[in-house]
Amino acid sequence: MFSNLKQQPADKILALIQAFREDPRENKIDLGVGVYKNAQGQTPIMRAVKAAERKLWEEETTKTYVTLAGDAAFSDTMISLVLGDAVARDRVAAVATPGGTGAVRQAFELVQMANPDARVFVSDPTWPNHLSILKHLGIETVTYRYFDTETCGVDFGAMMADLDQVKAGDLVLLHGCCHNPTGANLNLMQWQQVVDLLNAKGAVPMIDIAYQGFGDGLDKDAAATRLVAANCPEALIAASCSKNFGIYRERTGLLMAVAQEKGLHGVMQGNLAYLSRQNYSFPPDHGGKLVSIVLSDDVLRADWQVELEEVRQGMLALREQLADELRRLSGSDRFGFLAQHRGMFSRLGASPDKVERLRAEHGIYMVGDSRMNIAGLNSRTVPVLAQAIIDVGI
C-alpha cells in the first residue's frame, strides 16, 4: 500500500528553516519563516505569557477534557479582542483550533459542508499553505489579482475587477491585516468597497487574521475584520495567537463563524464541534488558557500590550531604517514601499534568481517570491541587507 505514495513537494517556507540551519556561514541572515525575533535573534516567551504559565501551573487542578469547542473563556476573550463590539456575541459561533492553520482548515471544511460547489477566491499571492490546504480538500480555487509589482502596493482596481466574478455562495479569503506575503494592505475605504461588492453578489468573506498587533496596533489591525463582521450577513474569521502572544508551538487559534440571522448560532456551533470531533476530537487547551489568563487579568494584559507594542515599533523602525538605507544607496525612492508596508513581511518584488543570489552570495535567506521577514533583521544587519540588495541588482 505505502509504495503507492508519492513524495510530497516540500513546503517552501519550512524548507528554508532547514537550509538556513545547514548553512555554516557565520554572518548568514534568516528572513524566512514568519517567526518574530528580537535584536539578539531570539524568539522570547512574552513576560505576561510566562506569568500566565506560572499561574496556570499553580492553579490548574485537572487535565481532563474540556469541550469540543475548547474553553469558553478563551473564545470569549478572543472574540472581544478580535471583534470588539462589532457584532452581538450570540451571532458568533466559535471553536478553539490547533493554531491559525487549524482554523483555516476547519473554515474551509465548514464551507465545503455548507456548499459543496463553493469556489474559494484567494489573493495572488497569498500564504502558500492556503492554496495547499484548498488543493488537499479538493476545493476549487480562483485567484484575484492583488499585488502591483510596479508600486509594490495593492492593485485595487484589478482586485475589484477580479472579485466582480464571484457568485452567490463563493467564499472570498482576505487577510485581515499585515498581508502575508506582500505586506501591502487595503485601507478602510477600500475594505468598505469590498464588503459592498461581496454583499451585492451574495459571496461570503473569510478573514485570516494572524498578525493582529503587528501592523498599526491591536484595534487598528482589527478594524477591517470588525467592518466585515458588522456589515456582512455571514463571515468566517480564522485568528491565530501564534505571533501576537508568541506561542507558536502551543498551536492556539480560534475559528469564528458569524451570521446575522437569528437561530443559526446553534447550528453553526454544532457543526464546528462536529468538525473538531472528526479531525482531532478536542482542541489543545494550554495555549488558549494562557491567552485567556493574559486577556482577563488587567495587569498581565497591560504588560502584554506594552511588550507587543515594543515588537511592533521595533519592526516599524527596521522598515524605516531599511527604506532610508536603500534610498541612500540607490539614490532613488523605489524602495519607499518598505516603510509603507505593515506587519512581519514585505515582498521585495525581486525575481527568484536574484533571491537565490542573495542566498548564495550573501547568506541572506528569504522566500523565493522575495518575501522577507522584517523581524529577522536588526539595526546592524539592515545595512548589510541593503548593500546586498543593491549588489545583486534588485
Which residue number, 102 or 283, has a Cβ lying nearer to ligand LMR? Answer: 102
C-beta of 18: minimal distance to ligand LMR in Å?
A: 14
Give 181 or 363: the residue with its C-beta nearer to ligand LMR: 181
- Which has the closest alpha carbon to 105: 272, 227, 282? 272
> Is 30 or 162 the residue whose CB approaches ligand LMR more closely?
30
Q: What is the DSSP string of 77-102?
A: HHHHHHHTTSS-GGGEEEEEESHHHH
Residue type at 105?
R
Q: What angle (nearest 5°) sits at the alpha carbon of residue 244, between those of residues 137 and 235?
A: 45
Query: Kind of pairing, strands 204-209 and 171-175?
Result: parallel
Q: How far is CA 202 from CA 39, 107, 136, 198, 233, in A?
A: 47, 18, 26, 6, 9
**Active-site residue (options: 51, 69, 103, 210):** 210
- Least spacing, CB of residue 259 vs ligand LMR, in Å: 28
Alpha carbon 41 to chain centroid, angstroms: 21
Q: For this structure, is 127 an active site residue?
A: yes
* Residues of the shown chain interacting with ligand LMR in the complex, contacts defined by CB under 6 A: 13, 33-34, 127, 129, 180
Identify which of residues 104 and 386 has a Cβ nearer to ligand LMR in the complex.
104
Position with the least CB separation from ligand LMR: 34
The least distance separating ligand LMR from the CB of residue 251, rounded to whole angstroms, comes to: 11
* Catalytic site residue from 239, 243, 289, 339: 243
Burial class, 299, CB count within 10 angstroms (exposed 0-12 / middle 13-18 / buried 19+): exposed
Smaller CB distance to ligand LMR: residue 14 or 200?
Answer: 14
Closest distance to ligand LMR from the beta carbon of 13 (Å): 4
Minimum Å gap between C-beta 352 and ligand LMR is 17
Residue 98 corresponds to which cell in the numbers above? 490547533
243 is catalytic: yes
Q: How far apart are CA 354 and CA 198, in angstroms?
A: 38
Selected catalytic residue, list 127, 223, 289, 339:
127
All three cell numbers of 29: 541572515
Q: For this structure, is 191 an active site residue?
A: no
Known catalytic residue: 317? no
Query: DSSP class of residue 346?
Result: E
Residues composing the chain:
394
Kindly list the distances between the CA atom of residue 133 and the CA atoms of 128, 138, 143, in Å, as whole numbers in the listed order. Answer: 9, 9, 15
Q: What are the catalytic residues?
A: 127, 208, 210, 243
